């Protein structure tokens, strides 16, 4: 294949490929969300609830911008999707708190919430799964799989984003 033919082949592929946010930008945003939910993993501590509310608003805007890149692949407006996801964060947080308690109850080696949050790969995997699952339920393409594969690469634990996992989940 000549360079000209190869370039034409690549060009055609570029024209057919849908736009999507970078994997790193998706993972960074959702990592920052997790660090805000569980400061045990973060060196940053927020000084007031107002600052946390402002940060949540910023994350909502950043998520909407990520979704704007892939807008033609979405069945809803990016702002509607990002707001719906952010509205689920309190429920995700409560489920993760139940998961922490399940880990403490189910693993005799677990000594504290802090230890589970900071060091347990199972907690990290389920935290990313719960966020990925919320996106999956909102019919967001690609991003749920990006998050699940990111957690898989960090923990060795592979959970399909469509898997429905109830409360008080523990995986070691």
pLDDT of residue 42: 87
CA dist 121 and 129 (Å) reads 12
CA dist 116 and 44 (Å) reads 19
DSSP 57-74: HHHHHHHHHHHHHTGGG-
Grade residue 62 by pLDDT with cuts at 50, 70 and 90: very high
pLDDT of residue 148: 98
Residue partners of 158: CB distance under 8 A and separation at least 6: 148, 152
CA dist 95 and 126 (Å) reads 10
Report pLDDT digits (tens) over 102-132.
999 999 999 999 999 999 999 999 999 999 9
Which pTM value belongs to this model?
0.92
CA dist 114 and 123 (Å) reads 11
* Class in CATH terms, 21-155: mainly alpha
Q: How far is CA 14 from CA 11, 55, 147, in A?
A: 5, 36, 24
Grade residue 163 by pLDDT with cuts at 50, 70 and 90: very high
CA dist 130 and 31 (Å) reads 13
CA dist 120 and 133 (Å) reads 20
């Amino acid at each position: 294949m000549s360079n000209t033919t190869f370039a034409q082949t690549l060009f055609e592929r570029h024209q057919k490929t849908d736009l999507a946010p970078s994997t790193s930008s998706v993972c960074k945003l959702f990592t920052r969300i997790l660090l805000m939910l569980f400061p045990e993993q973060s060196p940053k501590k927020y000084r007031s609830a107002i600052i946390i509310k402002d940060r949540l608003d910023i994350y909502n805007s950043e998520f909407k911008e990520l979704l704007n890149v892939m807008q033609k692949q979405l069945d809803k407006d990016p702002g509607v999707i990002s707001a719906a996801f952010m509205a689920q964060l309190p429920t995700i947080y409560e489920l993760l708190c139940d998961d922490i308690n399940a880990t403490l109850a189910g693993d005799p080696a677990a000594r504290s919430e802090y230890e589970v949050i900071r060091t347990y790969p199972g907690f990290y995997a389920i935290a990313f799964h719960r966020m990925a699952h919320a996106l999956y339920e909102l019919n967001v393409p690609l991003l749920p799989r990006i998050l699940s594969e990111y957690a898989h690469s960090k923990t060795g634990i592979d959970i399909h984003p469509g898997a429905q996992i109830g409360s008080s989940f523990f995986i070691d």
